[in-house]
Copies of this chain bind each other. A is one copy, B any other.
Amino acid sequence: MTPRTCSPAPPLDPALDPDEELARFASALGHPARVRILRFLLEREECFAGAIVEHIPLAQSTVSQHLKVLREAGLVRGEVDGLHVCYCADRVRLRKIGDLVNALTPGPTEPAPAS
């Protein structure tokens, strides 16, 4: 069976200059609870919202808000599955953030932006 992975590709705002884009992602990661949620989702490949709420010592509504922020940044996707909502971290998007950060400091591990 498929391990309940979320839909493959949400759109991404194309009209952002790189600084704004990076700032947007970083901003979404800029709260410990959100990092924690993200890490939790990454550990478990997928899970429904209730599990997250149980894992995080915050009110359900607060967790939902954080999930919304993560969703809007595209770091997380959620899709309704009957009664539950199944959330997944978007690894591709996360990779992209790492790339954006690494691109700031061209160095030994990052050959060159090149053409």
Residues of A at the B interface (CB closer than 8 Å) are 19-20, 22-23, 26-32, 34-36, 38-39, 42, 89, 91, 94-95, 97-98, 101-102, 104-105, 107
Contact = CB atoms under 8 A, between A and B. Distances in A.
Nearest to A23: B32
Nearest to A103: B98
A42 to B, nearest CB: 6
B105 A94 contact: yes
Contact of A27 (B19, B30, B91): B30
B34 A23 contact: yes
Contact of A19 (B19, B36, B105): B36
A105 to B, nearest CB: 5
Given A27-B29, A29-B101, 4 more contacts: A19-B39, A23-B31, A26-B35, A102-B102
